[in-house]
Amino acid sequence: MGPVLSTRQGSRSAGAGQLARHGTAWHGTARCAACLAGAASQGGTGWHVPLSSHGACATFCQRCWRLPRGRAGAAGAARGERSAPKAAAERGDRLFPIPGDSVGHGRLQAGTRPSGRPLPLPPGPPRMWLLRLAWALAVLGIAAGSGPSPSPTAPPPDQASIFADLTPAELRAVRTFLMSRPELGLSPSRGGPLAKNTLFLVELLPPKKRLALRYLDQGGPRPQRQARAVVFFGAQAEPNVTEFAVGPLPRPSSYRPLRFKGGRAVPFAARPMTLLEYELLHRTLAEAMEPLYRLLRDSTGFWYHNCSRHCLTFSDIAPRGLASGERRSWLILQRFVEGFFLHPVGLEVLVDHRDPDPRRWAVQRLWYNGQYFSSPQELAERYERGTLAVARLAEPPFQQLFSSYEPRGRFATGTPTEVHGAKVCEPQGRRYRLRGNRLEYGGWSLAFRLRSSAGLQLFDLRFNGERLAYEVSVQEAIAFYGGHTPAAMQTKYMDAGWGMGSVTYELARGIDCPDTATYLDAHHFYDADGPVRFSHAICIFELPTGVPLRRHFDSDFQGGFHFYAGLEGQALVLRTTSTVYNYDYIWDFLLYPNGVMEAKVHATGFIHATFYTPQGRRYGSRVHSHVLGNLHTHLVHYKVDLDIAGTGNSFETMDVRFENISNPWSPGARVVQPWLHRQPRRSERQAAFPFGKALPRYLLFYNPHRRNRWGHPRSYRIQHSSHAGRVLPRGWQEENGISWGRYHLAVTRHHENEPTSSSIYAQNDPWEPLVSFEGFLRNNETIEDQVTTRRHGAAGTELGRGGCQEPPALVAGSAVPRAPLTAAVPSAQDLVAWVTVGFLHVPHAEDIPNTATPGNAVGFFLRPFNFFDEDPSVASRSPVIVRPLDPPTFSQLEIQRWTPASPGPCVAPGPFTYNGTYRQE
């Protein structure tokens, strides 16, 4: 019996007389001789730098390491992550050690006080706590956490473990190895100057698909385990960012650059923000705000320069500028109280921090209460002269601050809320199995990992042993805003650039996930000097859906019934969260017993708010006295690498059209009826469905060579659950960085050099993105499963599609080659679906204090469509069938079930009962 929703009340018993019956590579140039020799010996591609002879190559500049340009290098590219402790740092959050943990071990939490009481700073230099204590997030490894009952874990199967995240030991080994290489010249991430070489990110570099499938399906060699390492080379004349493949793990001994098509290096200005840069930015802002001390103190009761209790903090905006190469950030100043996102004070500051030397950073513009100023001094002088329109804010209350979670008010009905509500329980234990990173449930099996760069990633998704998808993964999440203030109109968040996959904080038992869930830890190496452990970052649980998977009541239309049958609805949930600055994303993958998979994301957390002005009303809603909730559109992008009954798939759409025909059984009459219009999609452009045009209702991926029992091609369907729309006109500046956001769905052929649709660099350089999704479609490749004609030449050689020659075939008993002939040979296409979902959010008063999850969830389903011969959930032993034994009296019923008669005391003390009659009394 699966999990059930439990309440304290028992169930009502139904009648007597019931009988129970249980059913039985690198293409570059190098300066040193070792590099040149290695390149020559390996043809200039894919070679490992010999570490014993590499000493002369001491720097890695754009001239020496000329990486090929492209839209999706083998490592997807690092774009500017924003971790939550790191985001706390950039905003001005104070972070304190949790009691019992040393500061050096990374377990920190935001300091809290009731409602609006300002949070005190710990001793030390002003606001240095921010980045000295807030650890950065880093690459991930998963370890099982403890649960309320024995954890259903075991040693990982060898096959699934090729997709497992790097362990803490592997993460440390990669760092130790790279730090030991003198030619890299790496320094610790913490402290020191900004102009230095640092290791920013380490995470698993997944094996190439062809190598993984050869291992999984053909017994081939196990793919070599490698890490992706992102290095910031800032200590040189031409700074850049370079990504490396490091291996073999667990004992790395070599590395090679990962490349983007076209040879383009990652611009240094496109790199993600680091805690060190935020610390230097804080110092610059503190110095710049000194002339505004009186204005801020008098108008808000808080200030930024040299504060200890009534402190201001800031939220920073991206992209950082108006063109590639810039690094200028608008900062929103806010009062640091609980929910400080909702407490702007009316001051926004533009800081240019492109130069590696922070002494050259400068404030360029300010916006205060609807007016622009060229310097802090100009704004201060206007205030002192009394010619400034001052926005005076009331002192925040000590308790029940509007931005806090503290209860206030009463429900009109008076029904109790001070007692626990319904809970999930597992009456006979867990019905899923977790072995390392291999998850099994009913017919389902899959491998999973949690990327620091972008989040959850599923591999080798199978039902009853048949692979349905090689990969299903989150690629990117964006929120593009509009507003009257400069920060609001500049806000175009691309959350992979803020460490979307690394801000996976602890899930609260009984709130974020049921008490019965299995909780897993994660380890990230992101902007840190070692792996950081995130407790209970992932949870897995079986969830009662609250609605039957299927049911039927077969009435006799005389007050009784012939039978009742139903199958309780349950799904297995794999969940994590990303707290990206103000927003919290809840990421779910759900597995249903009938072969349906659902990918879903809920949006919650604080709205991104700016200071209210009358002109701002056309960009959102006024949600408090001085707060405007700005309109924005959320888009989320997924990669779905489908392998429906094999890698050779085709794609078609299906919808309804109407026909007007003569009525065959009534001469002279007409019949208008629907019929199915199928449209094969033969090229990538034909399979790209832009926003603004109707999306066909059936999107079918099928294997044309495999059919079910009834003669239909075995298919799966993508079904959107979304009301997404365009965020900007096509090709307009920042829109180039999210060209995937032009389409509901796009289908491309699989290519190893197109692993991701976005990168961690797009946030800070969306104008010239390193990964251009539109480039995936530009060559408009065929996606149709074609039949290729092969021709045998006169000399007996067989000429294939690529013109490769094969040995001549001989006629049996003769040395004479065969005569020329032709043969039809299927040529399979491996297809990838790129799915965009989202919604428009116009904030409203009910978003205070937080955006709620109901109505703010989007996603898609993978649904079987003639893939099986019948609903595969018939294999479940959870149905209940009730048949009357003595109609029409219905005094005796036969109840057939294959699970225990009672789910146990966590639900109700009595067994299942049923009556089924509906007679007038």
**357/367 Cα distance (integer angstroms):** 26
320, 328 contact by CB (below 8 A): yes
**311/796 Cα distance (integer angstroms):** 84
754, 748 contact by CB (below 8 A): yes
592, 574 contact by CB (below 8 A): no
What the block records as the tokens of 252 is: 């790395």
Distance of CA 663 to the CA centre of its chain: 53
What the block records as the tokens of 513 is: 């996930």
Count Cβ atoms below 10 Å from residue 269 Cβ, excluding itself: 18
Peptide bond into 168 cis (omega under 30): no
Q: Is 609 left (phi over 0), alpha (psi -120 to 50) or beta?
A: beta
Comparing CA positions, the residue from 542, 526, 541 lying closest to residue 450 is 526
**558/152 Cα distance (integer angstroms):** 50
β-pairing, 18-22 vs 893-897, is parallel
Q: Which of 165, 352, 495, 785 is catalytic?
A: 495
Q: Is 209 left (phi over 0), alpha (psi -120 to 50) or beta?
A: alpha
Peptide bond into 319 cis (omega under 30): yes
**225/247 Cα distance (integer angstroms):** 7
Give the H or E element holding residue 688.
Answer: strand 688-690
Which residues lie below 8 Å from residue 360, measured CB to CB, with a gap of 6+? none
What length does the chain have?
Answer: 921
3-state class (DSSP) for residue 312: strand
Which residues lie below 8 Å from residue 274, measured CB to CB, with a gap of 6+? 86, 136, 189, 198, 200, 232, 527
Tell me if residue 368 is catalytic: no
What the block records as the tokens of 215 is: 């291992």
Q: 133: which DSSP letter?
A: H
Count Cβ atoms below 10 Å from residue 333 Cβ, excluding itself: 29
**921/918 Cα distance (integer angstroms):** 9
Report CA-CA distances (Å) from 352 to 62, 303, 355, 364. Answer: 24, 22, 8, 7
**708/872 Cα distance (integer angstroms):** 13
Residue at 409: amino acid letter: G
**255/397 Cα distance (integer angstroms):** 57
Report CA-CA distances (Å) from 260 to 203, 399, 449, 500, 761. Answer: 18, 53, 24, 22, 13
**187/200 Cα distance (integer angstroms):** 11
Report CA-CA distances (Å) from 311 to 718, 867, 869. Answer: 50, 61, 66
What the block records as the tokens of 362 is: 């400068």
Q: Positive or negative, the Cα torsion across 282, 284, 287, 293?
A: negative
Q: Which of 526, 583, 592, 638 is catalytic?
A: 583
- Angle made by CA atoms 530, 501, 339, in degrees to the nearest 5: 100
785, 826 contact by CB (below 8 A): yes
Peptide bond into 486 cis (omega under 30): no
Count Cβ atoms below 10 Å from residue 714 Cβ, excluding itself: 23
Tell me if residue 564 is catalytic: no
Catalytic residues: 495, 583
